[in-house]
Structure 1
Amino acid sequence: MCGIAGIFHTEGMKPVDPARLERMCDAIAHRGPDGQGIWTAPGVALGHRRLAIIDLAGSPQPMAATDGSAMLVFNGEIYNFRELRRELQADGAQFHTDGDSEVILAAWQRWGVDCLPRLHGMFAFALYDLRQRTLLLARDRLGVKPLFTAQLADGSVIFGSELKALLAHPMLRRDIDPLAIEDYLAWGYVPDHRSILKGVEKLPAGHYRLLRHDAPPAAPVQWWDISFADREPGNTADLGAHLLHRLREAVTSRMMADVPLGAFLSGGVDSSSVVALMAEASTDPVKTCSIGFDVQALDETAYADKVAALFSTEHRKRVVASDDFALINRLAGMFDEPFADASALPTFRVCELAREHVTVALSGDGADEAFAGYRRQVFQHREESVRALLPQGLRTPVFGTLGRLWPKADWAPRPLRAKATFLNLARSGEEGYARSLSVTPVELRERLYGEDFLRLRGDYRAEQPFVEMMRRAPGRSGLDRAQYADLKFYLPGDILTKVDRTSMAVSLEAREPLLDHRLLEFGARLPEAMRVRGATGKWLMKDVMRRYLPEDVLFRPKMGFVTPIAAWLRGPLAGEARAVAEGGVLARTGWFRAPVLRDIAEAHIAGRADHSRLLWQVLMLDRSLALLS
């Protein structure tokens, strides 16, 4: 795991100032404390910060191909590099290291861009071919590893693992994109199709770009996608056996390391499944760690303790105080762009704890997207059956009226909180699912924005690209399309961004075995009844894991990594909530209506409503804008 940065001239082969690249690499030094390197040539410069995981002494970067015809900087892990190495050796390739970086170079020389589907792992890399005078930028299938790019006024393209690497270049403009604010308010993060700064782009997951001197920068090319259009034949026993094989394969392949390795353990289905399969494959006790809160309703450590005892892991836990909100400014600095998933705080704390004992930690991220484990996916599955029975012309007036009239009752038992369901049913499946996933609905955004910002935003709505993605999704059903959108939109924008930034902030490599692409592709072919059965999502995975895990771990209600932000914003952060409306950086932009924001803050502080998610969004936006200004 590492950090990469670079500069490439598309208008000739102008000299590159190495001092600029050094500053870019220094900005992401936390991603690679074990080594650094810079390589320059006419028109190109590549920089690297290394966190040594495999071949600790033998794979410094930037790395040259054996014949010197190509240079590479690489962030990530290729889990099948040994198999590829043997195949390439049989074809005549020679190797001088024992790591995976040199395999990428040899694979490029043998197969060109067709090497990408052969790479199993997580990666973002830049490879410069001196003979062809081209630069290949590539990102892994799911977007586990990030890559930011920007074209500058002098014709150069700069890139880096984090936005802060680009911000270190003096020619990068810092103009905020108002459409990114709309996206952020809707989703709680800036999705991968946009950046907080105009002119900055994120290479999409499963895409590559080929850049050439004396040619305009080429658009990204998709090299991988997932399809939900087919169904895997077989009965429950056969499909379960196949799934277990894929799970074992995914976990064991990610246990490869030359440094101490462990796992995050929340006590939920996914992390517990990973730990169970690690324990099965390991002769030594698995090192596990968990984080809890000193608020009993938010604390899951009892379940983590139970799983740790079941598999005799070397378990460590830490309880975070309910007033652990001092990280706000540090969190804003980790993410560069505004990021409002409050679970970033406990995720960072568990990464801190893990880093005290290991350099690599396996997580359980990805199974909910792959196997329909989110409650919203189960609801979508049910709602689609209603949509199939009633035409849109009937649903819109009936359910639209019910949705408008039904009170918003966050405090009520779940069966009585029908407002969201009615509003969803009044819309198409794609529009309803976008509403389920959004943090701040469009009606509230319209109230919040000032007139100047509404003019800047124009006709664009954050839900539009999401709805279009669902409509184009290769799938048979509403559930298929919802899972596709979660994998392609929500996962890289929220979950993987959160894990990458919080883990790399403490120089920890996080690996997600449940995002193995072979496992995902199998999951996408499962019949819907193997994914959702009744009110239970992730059904086949839970059924398979019965041999390892107790029922109360497998079938307890999903909790997630929650934080007491509602209480914080009524207590120690109440002043912060008021200040954002009155005098923060955000207030000076004039983008939001201060009286509306003030009323929202006061209603929350007084306990008349729960606006914690919106207030947290606004607070984190204010902090990010302060850092970018």
Structure 2
Amino acid sequence: MCGIVGIFDTRGARPVDPALLKRMNETQHHRGPDEGDIYTEPGVGFGHRRLSVIDIASGQQPMFNAAGDVGVVFNGEIYNFPELTAQLEQLGYVFRTKSDTETIVHAWQAWGEDCVHKLRGMFALCIWDRNKQTMFMARDRLGVKPFYYALLADGMFIFGSELKSLRAHPGLPHAIDPQAVEDYFAYGYVPEPKTIYAGAKKLSPGFTLTVRIGQPVPQPKQFWDVPFKLHAPMSQQDAEGELIERLRDAVKIRLKAEVPLGAFLSGGVDSSAIVAMMAGLMKDPVNTCSIAFQEKAFDESPYAEQVARQYKTEHVTETVDTDDYALLDTLADLYDEPYADSSAIPTYRVCQLARKRVTVALSGDGGDENLAGYRRYRYAMAEDAVRSKIPAGLRKLVFGPLGKYYPKADWAPRVLRAKTTFEALSRDLVEGYFHGVSIMSDDMRAQLFSDKFRKNLQGYRAIDVMQGHAANSPTDDPLSMIQYLDMKTYLPGDILTKVDRASMAHALEVRVPLLDHKLVEWISGLPPSMKLNGSEGKYIFKKSLESYLPEEILYRKKMGFAVPLATWFRGPLRQRVRESLLGDTLASTGIFNTGYLAQMVEQHESGRRDYSAPIWTVLMFEAFLRKELQGESA
């Protein structure tokens, strides 16, 4: 696992400043504390920070072929590199190392841009081919590894693993993208391919970008998508058996490392399944770790310890103070742009704990998106079942006004909290799902933003992101459609971003078996009823694991990494909330309606409304802005 940076002159062969390249590279020292190096030639510069995991002795980057005309910097792991190495050797390529990095170099020589189809793993990479005067970049299929880039006004193209590496270049404009702000306050993150800056982008998962000297920079090109193509009919028993075999294979190929390896164990279905597979594949006991919370309502550690005992793992648990809010400003440094998932706090702590014992950890991320595990899928399907029985015109006529005028009753029993349901029923599937996952609704964002800022949006709406993905969806099945939307937005933008930054802050490599692209492709072809069966999410997954895990692990209520925001904002963080939301930093931007911010604070403090999620979202935006202002003054 590593950090990569680069500078490329799209107009010719102007010299690259080695000192600047080194500064960009060193902003990511945490991603690769073991080694670092840069390379420059006219018009080209590469930088790399290395966390040594495979071929520690000879896997240094930037890495070139023997002729020195093809080089690569690469972040990630290619799990099938032994098979690819053998295939390339048969084609006549000679290997000087035992690293997966050299496999990429020769794969480019053999197959050109099609080399990405051969790679099984997580990767963000850039290849320089001097003979073709071409820079080729690619990001893995699901977006496990990040890739940021920008074309500067002077024709220089820059890229890096984190946005902070681009910010280190004085040519990057820091103008904030209004559309990214609208997106952030709906989703809680800035979805691909945008960044918070108008002049920088993320390379979307499953995309490549080829830049050639003397030619305009083209749009990225997609090389993979989740197929959602149904398999030939199979029995549930056959599906269960094949799922376990494919999961075992995805875990097995992720066990190669020359450093200590272990797993996160939350006590949930996904991480417990990964540990069960690891225990059956490894000779030594699995190293596992989990976080415990002082507040029992948030604590899953007893379930983790149950699985650890069953599989005789070397398990450690560390208790985190429920009031672990000291990380707020640390998170702004980690994520480089506004990011509002408060579970980043316990994720940071569990990565910190894991790094004390291992350098590589396997996680259970991706199971909910793959196998329809989120409760919101169940709610969305229930709403869609009602929609399908009522004509769209009648739904909007009846449920639209009900949703608009029914009171928001956060304090009431769930049965009386019908406002959100009425609003969702008046919309179509994509609109209803967007409304359900939004941190701040369309109406709230309309009140949050100033009149001037709303005009700057020129009619743009955050739902445009989901509608764009829906238009390109390979499926029209309702459940598969919202899974697809999550795989394009929430999975890379929130979940994988959270884990990448939290783990790399501690120089910890996290591998994600449930996002093995071959496994994802196969699961996507299962009938939706095998994923969400009645009210049971991950149905086929849980059934297949019944001989591996106890019932109380498989079928208990999902908890997740929650933190008590509502209590914090009425207690120890009350003053911080007031200073941040009502202070000069937000007011000076011209983005916000300060009266609405004051209303949110007052109603939350009084207990009349629970604005904890919106307040956290604004709080993290303000932390980002303060960091920006500090950087400008420096």
Greater shift in the superposed pair: 412-421 or 81-90: 412-421
Q: Residues 222-261 of structure 1: matches in 2 within 5 Å?
A: 222-261=222-261
Distance in 1, Cα, partners of 2:384 & 2:183 = 26
Q: Residues 394-473 of structure 1: matches in 2 within 5 Å?
A: 394-473=394-473
Question: Under a length normalisation based on structure 2, what TM-score does the superposition of the two structures give?
Answer: 0.98
Q: Residues 78-117 of structure 1: matches in 2 within 5 Å?
A: 78-117=78-117
The alpha carbon displacement at 1:377 in A equals 1.2
Task: Assess, with a 3 A threshold, how the Cα gap between structure 1 residues 212 and 286 changes in structure 2: closer, same or farther.
Answer: same
Distance in 1, Cα, partners of 2:424 & 2:463 = 13
The alpha carbon displacement at 1:416 in A equals 3.9
| Equivalence for 2:377 | 377
| Equivalence for 1:160 | 160
Contact 2:581 2:619 in 1 (8 A): no
Distance in 2, Cα, partners of 1:431 & 1:26 = 43
Greater shift in the superposed pair: 500-509 or 373-382: 373-382
Contact 1:228 1:476 in 2 (8 A): no
Greater shift in the superposed pair: 598-607 or 491-500: 598-607
Distance in 1, Cα, partners of 2:471 & 2:97 = 46
The alpha carbon displacement at 1:67 in A equals 2.6
Contact 1:66 1:95 in 2 (8 A): no
Q: Secondary structure at the match of 2:36?
A: strand
Task: Assess, with a 3 A threshold, how the Cα gap between structure 1 residues 34 and 298 changes in structure 2: closer, same or farther.
Answer: same
| Equivalence for 1:142 | 142
| Equivalence for 2:632 | none
The alpha carbon displacement at 1:255 in A equals 1.1
Aligned-residue Cα RMSD (Å) equals 1.1
| Equivalence for 1:566 | 566
| Equivalence for 2:614 | 614
The alpha carbon displacement at 1:110 in A equals 0.4
Distance in 2, Cα, partners of 1:226 & 1:562 = 29
| Equivalence for 2:262 | 262
Letter in 1 for 2:493: G
The alpha carbon displacement at 1:402 in A equals 2.9
| Equivalence for 1:503 | 503
Task: Assess, with a 3 A threshold, how the Cα gap between structure 1 residues 515 and 584 changes in structure 2: closer, same or farther.
Answer: farther
Contact 1:232 1:527 in 2 (8 A): no
The alpha carbon displacement at 1:227 in A equals 1.7
| Equivalence for 2:14 | 14
Q: Secondary structure at the match of 2:14?
A: coil
Question: Under a length normalisation based on structure 1, what TM-score does the superposition of the two structures give?
Answer: 0.98
Letter in 2 for 1:250: A
Kindly report structure 1 stretches of 4+ aligned residues shifted beyond 4 Å: none
Q: How many residue pairs end up in the alignment?
A: 629
Q: Is 2:492 the partner of 1:492? A: yes
| Equivalence for 2:42 | 42
Q: Is 2:311 the partner of 1:311? A: yes
Q: Secondary structure at the match of 2:316?
A: strand
Q: Secondary structure at the match of 1:589?
A: coil
Distance in 2, Cα, partners of 1:410 & 1:69 = 63
| Equivalence for 2:602 | 602
Q: Deviations over 1:220-242 (max 9, x none)?
A: 01011112243442010111111
Q: Secondary structure at the match of 2:4?
A: strand
Greater shift in the superposed pair: 450-459 or 94-103: 450-459
Distance in 2, Cα, partners of 1:437 & 1:600 = 20
Contact 1:580 1:587 in 2 (8 A): no
Q: Deviations over 1:486-539 (max 9, x none)?
A: 111111100000000000011000111100111111111111110111111110
| Equivalence for 1:272 | 272
Q: Secondary structure at the match of 1:233?
A: coil
Q: Deviations over 1:229-274 (max 9, x none)?
A: 4344201011111111111111111111110001111101111111
Q: Secondary structure at the match of 1:561?
A: coil
| Equivalence for 1:591 | 591
The alpha carbon displacement at 1:319 in A equals 1.0
Distance in 2, Cα, partners of 1:242 & 1:550 = 20
Q: Deviations over 1:424-451 (max 9, x none)?
A: 1110011001111111111001011111
Contact 2:411 2:608 in 1 (8 A): no
Contact 1:3 1:31 in 2 (8 A): yes
Long gaps (5+) in structure 1: none
Contact 1:63 1:72 in 2 (8 A): yes
| Equivalence for 1:518 | 518
Q: Secondary structure at the match of 1:95?
A: coil
Contact 2:531 2:538 in 1 (8 A): yes
Letter in 2 for 1:112: G
Contact 1:291 1:317 in 2 (8 A): yes
Contact 2:581 2:622 in 1 (8 A): no
Greater shift in the superposed pair: 89-98 or 230-239: 230-239
Q: Secondary structure at the match of 1:74?
A: strand
Q: Is 2:558 the partner of 1:555? A: no
Q: Is 2:5 the partner of 1:5? A: yes
Distance in 1, Cα, partners of 2:411 & 2:358 = 41
Q: Secondary structure at the match of 1:546?
A: coil
Distance in 2, Cα, partners of 1:561 & 1:215 = 47
Q: Secondary structure at the match of 2:149?
A: strand
Task: Assess, with a 3 A threshold, how the Cα gap between structure 1 residues 314 and 75 changes in structure 2: closer, same or farther.
Answer: same
Task: Assess, with a 3 A threshold, how the Cα gap between structure 1 residues 354 and 159 changes in structure 2: closer, same or farther.
Answer: same
Letter in 2 for 1:152: L
Q: Secondary structure at the match of 2:38?
A: strand
Q: Deviations over 1:527-576 (max 9, x none)?
A: 11101111111100010011111111111111111111111111111111
Q: Secondary structure at the match of 1:48?
A: strand
The alpha carbon displacement at 1:584 in A equals 4.2
| Equivalence for 2:27 | 27
The alpha carbon displacement at 1:284 in A equals 0.8
